[in-house]
């Protein structure tokens, strides 16, 4: 004999309308994953990358090295398209002041990364004569007499950054004269970095601002601090024509821009023996090219994120002493910025929010099929003619409906999460996944319980009218009610209106069965990122309003009280037509 709960569950989940609706939402989940990847690929988000490039003006050999990174400092694959442009100012219009430039695109191309890295080397000047767009031959005099810049367009799964091609734009090269030849050098990191020359020293003393005749290279640095993860990274791009190994030092906290010993002529100087009085040594050595060095945050004595910059010293003691003092900007980065963007879509009106908003229509229809419709047709009396009590009938169909809601939510949730993972590579923690699924399921079960009560009070067409109105009230009208209450409390759109609106909205969610999901989203974000949103004031309000005990009591009340009241009415109700 088939179990009554299983029979009613199968009758509910295999109903054509339920299956079609579920298939629609799972398709929307897959579409959402594709939408997220498309959105990230076309939205101008910060693209983190380190770059190093050189051009030998005499031979025309062009080198480019790029490392593509996510905001969390892990490498990501993508591609770059570049243009190498050189310009020369010809003069200005005496009337308008507009500048006249001679601008030549010397080279251009596209390169894809492998493990986030791109490296290419090519000869710009080939044996055959090359011409610019005006038909003029391009030769090495362009590199020797024009100012050159690199224009990079970077595309990764996180977004696209474009650089306008203009004589005064792009990343400018710095000419470096070494052994009677000129090398154009470009080093840096995006979006923020500082650079300085690398100098030779003929003594044990390092001068902060020596003469340019001692230049042997260029170095660029930036520091990125992930406050939530408690990690800091030094991004270093370095070029010297001689292959040397460099030690890395970072100034000790409390030294504002490293005010080193003042020399006789007003020049800051530092003896090699005094370095560790002013700098902390990083246990790493770097060579020319690009590097990412993870830093021990304890070296900064809790000043990271509060000081605008730190001085970085790179020092080589091989053959001759080479060094560079670089004032390095410190930037705070968000943990999980990529995941935040994806979760914002996941929790929004096109993801779980869409399912939680519109699947209740299927839920109220299930109750209509289980109770309201057969009651209006007198079919429940026929069922009770069998060896089954009213209580068994009531609980069997309630449990069967809960199982349908649970199964449908689970199938949708798995389809959504799997498609998000395979298309974006982002997955939630186990705890976060449980919180989201629990919030989604409890909201729908609570609404199912409420509809079950309505089916005990009414039947047939009257149930449809009442349940649809209840659905509209809790989904579409609830925000308007919160807005109206806030206007009354604040007396209009005052400076505290937004704070009060957030407070009143979340208080009102305790009285809305479909808003249990919002509380779980809050806990999900705090579990995944240790914060819900970025505005500190709103975060403070939510910590005051969202109480786990109240959330639990509200959830239990919305699920149990309607069922108990429904049974008290159902056991005495007339089940005839």
With CA atoms as reference, report the closest residue to 478 among 436, 430, 446, 514.
Answer: 514
Compute the average pLDDT of residues 22-27: 66
Q: What pLDDT was estimated at residue 266?
A: 45
> What is the full DSSP assignment across 347-396?
HSTTTHHHHHHHHHHHHHHHHIIIIIHHHHTTHHHHHHTSS--HHHHHHH
Q: Is the dihedral of CA 531, 536, 542, 548 positive or negative?
A: positive
Kind plus residue range of the DSSP H or E element containing 248: strand 246-251
Instruction: Kindly report, residue by residue over 398-412, the tens digit of the pLDDT.
Output: 888 888 888 888 888
Q: Is the dihedral of CA 101, 106, 110, 112 positive or negative?
A: negative
Q: What pLDDT was estimated at residue 531?
A: 54
pLDDT value at 34 more than 60: no
Asked if 214 contacts 199 with a C-beta cutoff of 8 angstroms, the reply is yes
| Rounded Cα gap, residues 425 and 379, in angstroms | 51
Q: Could you tell me the CA-to-CA distances from 170 to 67, 86, 193, 362 in Å, in that order? A: 18, 10, 15, 56
Q: What pLDDT was estimated at residue 415?
A: 77
CA atoms within 13 A on the CB side of 20: 3
pLDDT value at 274 more than 90: no
Lowest mean pLDDT among 167-181, 305-319, 342-356, 495-509: 342-356
With CA atoms as reference, report the closest residue to 108 among 124, 94, 90, 95.
Answer: 124
| β pairing state of 147-156 and 171-172 | antiparallel
With CA atoms as reference, report the closest residue to 257 among 303, 310, 210.
Answer: 310
CA atoms within 13 A on the CB side of 117: 9
Asked if 157 contacts 78 with a C-beta cutoff of 8 angstroms, the reply is yes
Average pLDDT over the chain reads: 79
Residues of the chain with pLDDT > 70: what percent? 75
| Rounded Cα gap, residues 571 and 565, in angstroms | 10
Instruction: Kindly report, residue by residue over 69-113, the tens digit of the pLDDT.
Output: 877 778 888 899 999 988 888 777 677 667 778 888 888 899 999
Q: What is the CATH number of domain 47-191?
A: 2.60.40
Lowest mean pLDDT among 15-19, 76-80, 187-191: 15-19
Q: What pLDDT was estimated at residue 249?
A: 92
| Rounded Cα gap, residues 301 and 308, in angstroms | 15
Q: What residues have CB less than 8 Å from 20, skipping those under 6 apart?
A: none
Alpha helices (H) in 188-267, listed in sequence order:
none
Compute the average pLDDT of residues 568-573: 81
Q: What is the CATH number of domain 192-334?
A: 2.60.40
| Rounded Cα gap, residues 86 and 166, in angstroms | 10
Question: In the structure, what pLDDT confidence band is assigned to residue 556 with cuts at 50, 70 and 90?
Answer: very high
Kind plus residue range of the DSSP H or E element containing 444: helix 430-457
- Tell me the β-bridge partners of 561: none
| Rounded Cα gap, residues 455 and 465, in angstroms | 11
Question: Cα 64 to chain center, whole Å?
Answer: 28
**Token couple for 428:** 């939630």
Among left, alpha and beta (phi > 0; psi -120 to 50; other), residue 196 is beta
pTM of this prediction? 0.56
Q: What pLDDT was estimated at residue 577?
A: 57
Q: What pLDDT was estimated at residue 135?
A: 59
Q: What residues have CB less than 8 Å from 71, skipping those under 6 apart?
A: 46, 48, 158, 333, 334, 337, 338
Helix 460-472 vs helix 430-457: crossing angle, to nearest 10: 140
| Rounded Cα gap, residues 400 and 369, in angstroms | 12
**Token couple for 448:** 């199912």
pLDDT value at 29 more than 60: no
Q: Could you tell me the CA-to-CA distances from 264 to 91, 200, 210, 212, 257 in Å, in that order? A: 43, 21, 14, 20, 20
Question: In the structure, what pLDDT confidence band is assigned to residue 443 with cuts at 50, 70 and 90?
Answer: very high
Q: What pLDDT was estimated at residue 263?
A: 41
**Token couple for 480:** 């308007």
First and final C-alpha spacing in the chain: 29
Q: Do domains 47-191 and 192-334 have the same CATH topology?
A: yes
Compute the average pLDDT of residues 29-44: 54
Lowest mean pLDDT among 410-419, 543-552, 568-577: 568-577
Instruction: Kindly report, residue by residue over 206-240, the tens digit of the pLDDT.
Output: 877 776 668 889 999 998 887 767 788 999 999 99
pLDDT value at 154 more than 60: yes
pLDDT value at 553 more than 90: yes
Instruction: Kindly report, residue by residue over 104-145, the tens digit of the pLDDT.
Output: 888 889 999 988 899 999 888 654 455 555 655 555 667 777
Question: In the structure, what pLDDT confidence band is assigned to residue 248 with cuts at 50, 70 and 90?
Answer: very high
Residues of the chain with pLDDT > 90: what percent? 16
pLDDT value at 533 more than 70: no
What are the residue ranges spanned by the domains of the chain? 4-40+338-570, 47-191, 192-334
Question: In the structure, what pLDDT confidence band is assigned to residue 150 with cuts at 50, 70 and 90?
Answer: very high
**Token couple for 532:** 């819900």
161 or 268: which carries more pLDDT confidence? 161
């Amino acid at each position: 004999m088939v179990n009554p709960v299983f029979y009613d569950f199968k009758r509910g989940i295999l109903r054509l309308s339920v299956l079609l609706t579920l298939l629609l939402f799972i398709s929307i989940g897959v579409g959402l994953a594709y939408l997220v990847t498309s959105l990230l690929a076309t939205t101008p988000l910060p693209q983190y990358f380190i770059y190093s490039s050189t051009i030998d003006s005499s031979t025309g050999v062009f080198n480019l090295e790029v490392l593509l990174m996510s905001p969390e400092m892990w490498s990501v694959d993508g591609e770059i398209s570049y243009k190498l442009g050189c310009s020369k100012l010809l003069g200005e219009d005496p009337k308008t002041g507009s500048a006249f430039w001679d601008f030549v695109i010397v080279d251009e191309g596209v390169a894809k990364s492998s493990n986030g890295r791109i490296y290419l080397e090519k000869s710009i000047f080939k044996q055959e004569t090359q011409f610019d767009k005006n038909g003029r031959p391009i030769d090495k005099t362009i590199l020797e007499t024009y100012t050159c810049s690199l224009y990079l367009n970077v595309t990764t799964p996180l977004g696209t950054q474009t650089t306008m091609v203009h004589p005064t734009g792009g990343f400018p090269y710095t000419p470096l004269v070494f052994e009677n030849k000129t090398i154009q050098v470009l080093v840096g990191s995006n979006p923020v970095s500082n650079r300085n020359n690398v100098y030779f020293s003929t003594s044990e003393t390092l001068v902060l601002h020596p003469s340019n005749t001692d230049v042997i290279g260029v170095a660029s640095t930036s520091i990125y601090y992930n406050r939530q993860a408690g990690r800091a990274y030094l991004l270093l791009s370095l070029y010297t024509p001689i292959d040397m190994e460099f030690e890395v030092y970072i100034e000790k906290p409390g030294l504002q821009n490293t005010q080193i010993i003042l020399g006789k002529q007003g020049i800051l100087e530092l003896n090699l023996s005094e370095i560790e009085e002013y700098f902390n040594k990083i246990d790493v050595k770097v060579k020319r090219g690009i590097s990412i060095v993870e830093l021990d945050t304890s070296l900064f004595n809790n000043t990271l994120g509060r000081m605008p910059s730190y001085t970085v010293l790179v020092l080589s003691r091989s053959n001759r002493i080479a060094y560079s003092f670089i004032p390095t900007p410190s930037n705070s980065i968000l943990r999980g910025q990529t995941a935040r963007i994806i979760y914002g879509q996941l929790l929004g009106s096109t993801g779980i929010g869409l399912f939680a908003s519109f699947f209740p229509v299927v839920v109220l229809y299930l109750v209509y099929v289980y109770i309201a419709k057969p009651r209006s047709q007198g079919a429940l009396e026929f069922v009770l003619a069998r060896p089954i009590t009213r209580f068994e009938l009531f609980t069997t169909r309630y449990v069967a409906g809960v199982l349908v809601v649970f199964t449908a939510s689970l199938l949708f949730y798995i389809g959504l999460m799997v498609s998000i993972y395979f298309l974006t590579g982002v997955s939630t923690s186990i705890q976060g996944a449980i919180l989201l699924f629990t919030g989604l399921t409890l909201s729908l079960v609570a609404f199912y319980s409420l509809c079950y009560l309505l089916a005990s009070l009414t039947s047939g067409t009257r149930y449809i009218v009442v349940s649809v109105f209840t659905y509209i009230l809790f989904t579409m009208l609830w925000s308007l009610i919160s807005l109206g209450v806030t206007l009354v409390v604040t007396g209009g759109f005052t400076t505290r209106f937004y704070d009060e609106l957030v407070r009143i909205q979340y208080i009102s969610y305790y009285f809305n069965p479909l808003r249990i999901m919002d509380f779980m989203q809050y806990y999900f974000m705090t579990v995944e990122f240790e914060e819900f949103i970025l505005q500190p004031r709103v975060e403070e309000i939510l910590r005051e309003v969202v109480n786990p005990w109240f959330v639990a009591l509200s959830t239990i009340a919305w699920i149990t009280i309607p069922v108990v009241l429904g049974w008290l009415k159902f056991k005495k109700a007339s089940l005839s037509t």
